[in-house]
Structure 1
Amino acid sequence: MTGDAAVRRWGLTIPLDGIPLPDQRRLIEELPDLGYTDVWSSESNVADAFTPLALASVWAPTLRLGTAIVPVYTRGPGTLAMSAATLAAAAPGRFVLGVGTSSDVIVEKWNGIPFEEPFKRARDTLRFLRSALAGEKVSREFDTFTVDGFRAGLVAEPTPPVLLAALRPGMLRMAGKEADGAIVNWLSADDVRTVAPYVHAGGEGKEIVARIFVLPGFDADTARAIGRRMIAAYMNVPVYRAFHEFLGRSDAFEGMWRLWAEGDRKAALEAIPDRVVDELIVHGDPDACREHLERYMEAGVTTPAIALVAPGDPSPMIRALAPR
């Protein structure tokens, strides 16, 4: 498993909403004392994946740092390797590189890069990174790109582990075979038992990081209303629709998918069953949220990466969700 197998991990997604980036220092400094072990960044249209982690590496020098995820398209292979090696060298033994294909919206519509052959691009990037991060000279024609004579001038010791964002069996198997584990999201605690065996088929000690959306301290009606909007936004994206068809939620989402396609957004939201929202969004009082998060770990998640989606100052919620 990535990192010390004896460590019971409890992660948080950064940067935090509602607080200017420089002002997050005091709260991030507090995280280890609260029992948090990890911070995990993301990259879409807010912060880049590396800068918040670089700040956290100085503010809280014991935290493990992870990207969840960096798209494999939006940086060239060499630039991606250099970014990872730099942070790994700045925080030796504390950095995990999480990569993934991201989406056609981020890659193609926002960055003007063709979103083609995502499975092969992820595989090729993993294979390139294995060599590049180890300091090897890489001259190779991959299926989706060619690298001619790249050798990293900075090689971190130890070499950072690499995880792959994965949803369905093909990518999950690749995460276990070609990477050090998988990063997953938008699944229930019970769903972990469905996806984990595909990852572990690739070998012993594979890590499974799950970004889990949490709404602590809200009444059920409010939490479900927020959750429905989030679910509709994601589950109408083809890759997430296919994921939940694989998980067996076709019947639960059939009404929402049909109404959304017809343009009736309000009715589509109302068609999402309460039980599905309760499975995919962790909500309730902090103790109930913590117990729900524990169920993910019991099912096979090695590192929960809590993503707070509630409005307002996140500080009280972060303290309330600290592991007991």
Structure 2
Amino acid sequence: MKLGFHTGYWSAGPPEGVRDAIAEAERLGLDSIWAAEAYGSDCLTPLAWWGASTERVRLGTNILQMSARTPTATAMAALTLDHLSGGRFVLGIGASGPQVVEGWYGQPYPRPLARTREYLDIVRKVVARERVEYQGEFFQLPYQGGAGLGKPLKSTVHPLRTDIPIFLAAEGPKNVALAAEIADGWLPMFFSPRGNDFYRTALQTGFDRPGARQNWDTFEVPAFLPVVVHDDVEQAADWVRPMLALYIGGMGAKGANFHFDVFVRLGYQAECQKIQELYLDGHKAEAVAAVPTAMVEDVALVGPLAKVRDELALWKESVVTSLLVNTDVPTLRALAEIVG
């Protein structure tokens, strides 16, 4: 199992201590560092800025939101960062959810799987430096209509690599299967070893489809993993509860929240309903308090270092190939020694 560092989301500004953590990740020989975006900071700019001080770690987006950029703009960014990093870039992308796609980017959300297929098709054409002609349901190149003067183009930049790895973020079974079929890796956000059989089945569905790009031997599954080392488990869990309350309660509407569904599949339906009701009613502190410690422990490593070490064994036995830890520098050092 590999170890990577996830810089996490920004709040009002850049994450505190991120430069030191990235420097330590490079020094420790970690596999990768990753930057996120939602509806504040973007993921490409910090990755380029912070990644410029590294030489070995892979640089990944987790995740670049497809609705924020056209497929060709995303491919241009991938070509650029791959050149600047010497072939270390990994393009992690995802469809996000209707709340962000339609509310923030002003783009339609329906049929995200079909849209994702077309998006990746076009990105790969650009990266391979093909002349891009595409007449899909969602994307048409050249554009049909307008001035009528568009023509098929290919990148002026010659790619450093003509097949930059693309990892797909997904949570539901159909999306996870799609990742196994058309991508080079899957980026789970809230992975739990208890759900391993569910995800293994979904991935196998994708691998079994005609034309699947990868297989179990070559496919990557880098999983986001908050790690909080503290002698008191409850206090450690308190650092993670607000994030879970936000995603379960506030990132979507009732009946249309994929994060909510992840935890329902783990057996927390009643707890999720309570968290969501409190959050949507404006009682955010109560929603945070309603997140049980067991739920936190399913998707994060919290508590004394010995407990963290013991629970890591479950992750090593799962489909996960890399742990993308979001933690402080001392814990990063300890994890690097444990994971080996």
Relative to the length of structure 1, the TM-score reads 0.84
Q: Do the aligned partners of 2:234 and 2:293 also contact (CA within 8 Å) in 1?
A: no
Q: Do the aligned partners of 1:192 and 1:296 also contact (CA within 8 Å) in 2?
A: no
Match of 1:165 among 158, 162, 169: 169
Q: Do the aligned partners of 2:223 and 2:323 also contact (CA within 8 Å) in 1?
A: yes
Change (3 A) 1:307 1:193: farther
Match of 1:239 among 258, 266, 291: 258
Q: Amino acid of the residue matched to residue 155 of structure 2?
A: A
Aligned to 2:45: 51
Q: For 1:150-205, what per-residue CA distance to the aligned partner results, in whole angstroms no more than 9, with x for missing partners?
A: 42222232521111101111101110111112100112122233213322443312
- Between the aligned partners of 1:291 and 1:59, the Cα distance in structure 2 is 34
Q: Amino acid of the residue matched to residue 275 of structure 1?
A: A
Give how far 1:263 is off: 5.6
- Between the aligned partners of 2:76 and 2:35, the Cα distance in structure 1 is 18
Q: For 1:106-131, what per-residue CA distance to the aligned partner results, in whole angstroms no more than 9, with x for missing partners?
A: 33323333334322222211121222
Change (3 A) 1:280 1:22: closer
Give how far 1:62 is off: 0.8
Matches within 5 A, 1:68-147: 68-147=62-141
Aligned to 1:199: 203
Give how far 1:30 is off: 3.0
Q: Does residue 190 in structure 1 map to residue 194 in structure 2?
A: yes
In structure 1, the residue corresponding to 2:295 is in which secondary structure? Answer: helix
Aligned to 2:314: 295
Change (3 A) 1:158 1:295: farther
In structure 2, the residue corresponding to 1:322 is in which secondary structure? Answer: helix
Q: For 1:270-324, what per-residue CA distance to the aligned partner results, in whole angstroms no more than 9, with x for missing partners?
A: 443332222123211234334434422321101111123xxxxx33333333333
Aligned to 1:10: 3
Q: Amino acid of the residue matched to residue 303 of structure 1?
A: S
RMSD: 2.8
Between the aligned residues of both structures, percent identity stands at 28
Q: Does residue 323 in structure 1 map to residue 337 in structure 2?
A: yes
Aligned to 1:3: none
Q: Do the aligned partners of 1:190 and 1:299 also contact (CA within 8 Å) in 2?
A: no
- Between the aligned partners of 1:78 and 1:202, the Cα distance in structure 2 is 26
In structure 1, the residue corresponding to 2:226 is in which secondary structure? Answer: strand
Q: Amino acid of the residue matched to residue 70 of structure 1?
A: L
Match of 1:178 among 179, 182, 192: 182
- Between the aligned partners of 2:286 and 2:129, the Cα distance in structure 1 is 55
Q: Does residue 152 in structure 1 map to residue 155 in structure 2?
A: yes
Q: Do the aligned partners of 1:10 and 1:37 also contact (CA within 8 Å) in 2?
A: yes
In structure 1, the residue corresponding to 2:52 is in which secondary structure? Answer: helix
Change (3 A) 1:64 1:261: closer
Change (3 A) 1:248 1:15: closer
Q: Amino acid of the residue matched to residue 295 of structure 1?
A: L
Structure 2: segments with no counterpart, 5+ residues:
143-151, 208-214
Q: Do the aligned partners of 1:43 and 1:49 also contact (CA within 8 Å) in 2?
A: yes
- Between the aligned partners of 1:194 and 1:323, the Cα distance in structure 2 is 30
Q: Do the aligned partners of 1:297 and 1:303 also contact (CA within 8 Å) in 2?
A: no
In structure 2, the residue corresponding to 1:240 is in which secondary structure? Answer: helix
Give how far 1:100 is off: 0.2
- Between the aligned partners of 2:108 and 2:170, the Cα distance in structure 1 is 20
Structure 1 residues 260-269 or 273-282, which shifts more?
Answer: 260-269
- Between the aligned partners of 2:232 and 2:32, the Cα distance in structure 1 is 28
Relative to the length of structure 2, the TM-score reads 0.81
Aligned length: 312
